[in-house]
Amino acid sequence: MIEQNYLILILFFNTIVLKTIFSIQRIRISCSDWENTLLKEMIVKIKITVYQLLSKAKSKGILIFIILGISTFLCFCKINYRGLWIDEFISIRDAQNLGFKKGRLLYYVLLNPWMNISKHDIWLRSLSVIFALASVYAIYRLAQQLFDQKTALLSSLFLSISPIFVNHTQEVRYYILSVFFGIIGAIYFCKYLYQDNRKQQNISRYAWILARVLACFTTPLNLVFVLSDFFIFIIYFITRKRRLTYQNISKLTSDYSLIALAIFPVAVSVYIDVNSHKLTPPIPGLTDVLRQVRILTVYAHPPSSKLTALLLQFIVLMILAIWAFSLWRSRNRKYVILIAIWAFLPIFIVFVFSHAFYSIWISRYIMSSLPYFMILLSLGLIELAKKFRILAIVMLGFYLFASGAGLMKYYNTKNRYIGASDRYRDIAHYICSDRHRGDILVWSIIHKMTLPFTHYCDRDLSIYPQNLPNKSSDSKELAAWVDSIPTTKVPIWLVYGQKSKPLLEPLQKKFTIEEHKEFDGFSVFVLQKKR
C-alpha cells in the first residue's frame, strides 16, 4: 500500500512540475511588459550562482563524493534489518572450507580473513559494501573516460539508487564483487583498444586480462563478458580494416589463450559440480525479459497491487524508450555500441543458454550488466534534454521516484525480492531465549546446515541434523521420518523447514506437542515423548 501511494505521488508530483514549468514560461512572457525588471535580474543572478557552484563542484570532483556519500548511506541503511538468509550461510561455510565451489573461489578467499575479525552480520556484509562503493566510483570513471562528466555522474547516481544493487550490497554474497571486476575489466579493455601509446596499451592489456580472469574466479557466468569482448574485437577490426593484421590476430589469439589457460581450473570445477544442486527457474519468455527491466532498474520486489504493476509497466516502457533514444541519437556512436554490447549481449547469451540447455534466468545472475544499462539510461536522458528539456526532466522525475518507491519497498519488507527469508535469526533467538526446556535440537532444513542456528545462538545443545522428507505429503514417509527422531525423557526441540500441517498427525501419535510456533513457513516444536 505504501509503494502504491508513493507511485501515485509520482504522477501528482510530475503534474505539478509540468504546471510550474508552464507557469514560469507564462511569467517570462508577461515580464516583457513589466517596467520593473527586478524579478528578472534576481532569476538571472540565482542561475549564475547555481551554475558557478556546480562548475566549481565538477572541477573539484565534489559531486562524485556526494554521490558516494549517498551510496554509503543507502548501503548501510537498515543493513541489519534482516538476518542472514540461507545463501549467506553457504558463503560463510564455503569461506571456512576454502576451495572451488562450482567455479567460485575469489569471494570466499576474501571473506575468510574478513570474518576472522568479526562474525557480526553488519561486519560480514560490509565486505560487499566496500566493493559496491568501488563499483559506483568505477562506473563514474568508465563513463567519464568514454563520454563526459555529466554522463559519469548520472550513471553513478543511478547505480547507487538501484534497489537490486542495494539489496545485493547488503548480502554476504559475491554478486557485487562480480559487478566491480566487470567494470574494471571494461575500463582497461577500452584503454587497451583505443590507446596509442604502446607501453600504456600493454599495461591496459594485461590489466584487462587480469580483471576478466578475477571476474571468472568470482563466478563463471562472467565468461559471457569475455565473449562480449571478443565480439567487440571483431566489430573493431571489421570497421578498421587497415588494422586487421597478422600481428593483431596473433595478439588476440594470445590474449584469449592466456584467459583460457587461467580460467581452466574454473572450468574443471564447474564440470565436476555440474550435477550438484542447482536452481531451476522457468524458461524465460518476452514477459520475463520485460520483468527483468523493472527488477534491474527501479523496483525489484513483485508489485503488491494492480495499480502499482500498471504504473511500473509505464516506467519500464519509458526506460526502454530512453535506451532506444540513446542508441539512436548519441554522438559517440562507437562508444555507445561498446556499452550496448556489454549491456545486452551477456543477457542474450544467458537467454539462449536457458532455452538450449537448462534455465539460468535469474536476476542476480545477469546483474553484472546493470552498470552498462545505467550508462545507456544517462546518455539517453542527456541527449533528450538537448532537444526536449521539459520531457527529459519529467522522465528523470518519474525514474527517481520509482527508484525511491523500490528502495522504500526493499527497506520495509522482511523478505528479499527473490522471496528469501531471514527466519533463521528469529528461530535461533527463540530457542536460545528458552534455556530451561530441552537439551536436544533436531534440525531439519534444506542443505542440512546447522550454521544458521549456531551463528546466532551460543546455547549448548546436542544438535541432530536431519534430512527433510523427500515427499512431504506422503503419510507413510512422514511416519517413518517421525520415527527416526531421537527420543529422550526430557523435551526436545524440532525445527522443521517445511509446512507443518501434514506433519502434525504423525507427530501427535508419538509425541505430545508442548509448543508449536511458525516462522515464515518453518515450524518450531517442543516435543515430549508419550509414555
pLDDT of residue 367: 92
In tens, the pLDDT along 478-511 reads 888 888 887 777 788 888 887 777 778 888 888 8
Query: What's the distance, Cα to Cα, between the start and end of the chain in Å?
Result: 51
In tens, the pLDDT along 318-346 reads 999 999 998 888 778 889 999 999 999 99
Count of other CB atoms within 10 angstroms of residue 222 = 25
Contact 496, 522 (CB under 8 A): yes
Phi, then psi, of 485 in degrees rounded to 5: -70, 130
For residue 79, pLDDT over 90 is answered with yes
Cell numbers placing 294: 523493472
User: Domain segments of the chain: what residues?
Assistant: 2-28+40-411, 423-529
Which of 215-219, 432-436, 523-527 comes out lowest in average pLDDT? 432-436
In tens, the pLDDT along 8-24 reads 444 444 544 444 444 44
Q: In terms of pLDDT, which residue wins out, 440 or 241?
A: 440
Query: Looking at this protein, which amino acid is placed at residue 154?
Result: L
pLDDT tier at 2, thresholds 50, 70, 90: very low
Mean pLDDT of 198-224: 92
pLDDT tier at 199, thresholds 50, 70, 90: confident
- Cα 224 to Cα 165, 219, 243, 299: the distances in Å are 20, 11, 25, 25
pLDDT tier at 198, thresholds 50, 70, 90: confident
Which of 254-258, 323-327, 361-365, 494-498 comes out lowest in average pLDDT? 494-498
For residue 32, pLDDT over 60 is answered with no
Q: In terms of pLDDT, which residue wins out, 476 or 307?
A: 307
In tens, the pLDDT along 437-447 reads 667 888 888 77
Mean pLDDT of 195-205: 85
pLDDT tier at 473, thresholds 50, 70, 90: low
- Cα 450 to Cα 433, 457, 492: the distances in Å are 18, 11, 16
For residue 236, pLDDT over 90 is answered with no
For residue 400, pLDDT over 90 is answered with yes
pLDDT of residue 436: 64
pLDDT of residue 22: 44
pLDDT of residue 340: 94
Contact 118, 455 (CB under 8 A): no
pLDDT of residue 416: 85
Name the residue with cell 555529466: 150
Cell numbers placing 311: 504504473
In tens, the pLDDT along 96-143 reads 888 777 778 899 999 999 999 999 999 999 999 999 999 999 999 999
pLDDT of residue 330: 74
pLDDT of residue 233: 87
Mean pLDDT of 354-358: 89
For residue 297, pLDDT over 90 is answered with yes
User: Mean pLDDT over all residues of the chain?
Assistant: 84
pLDDT of residue 347: 95
Q: How far apart are CA 444 and CA 434, in angstroms?
A: 20
Mean pLDDT of 148-153: 92
Which residue blocks in 263-332 are alpha helix, DSSP H? 264-272, 286-297, 306-329
pLDDT tier at 515, thresholds 50, 70, 90: confident
pLDDT of residue 34: 44
DSSP for 119-186, written as a single string: --HHHHHHHHHHHHHHHHHHHHHHHHHHS-HHHHHHHHHHHHT-HHHHHHHTSSSSHHHHHHHHHHHH
Q: What percent of the chain has pLDDT over 90?
A: 45
Cell numbers placing 61: 570532483
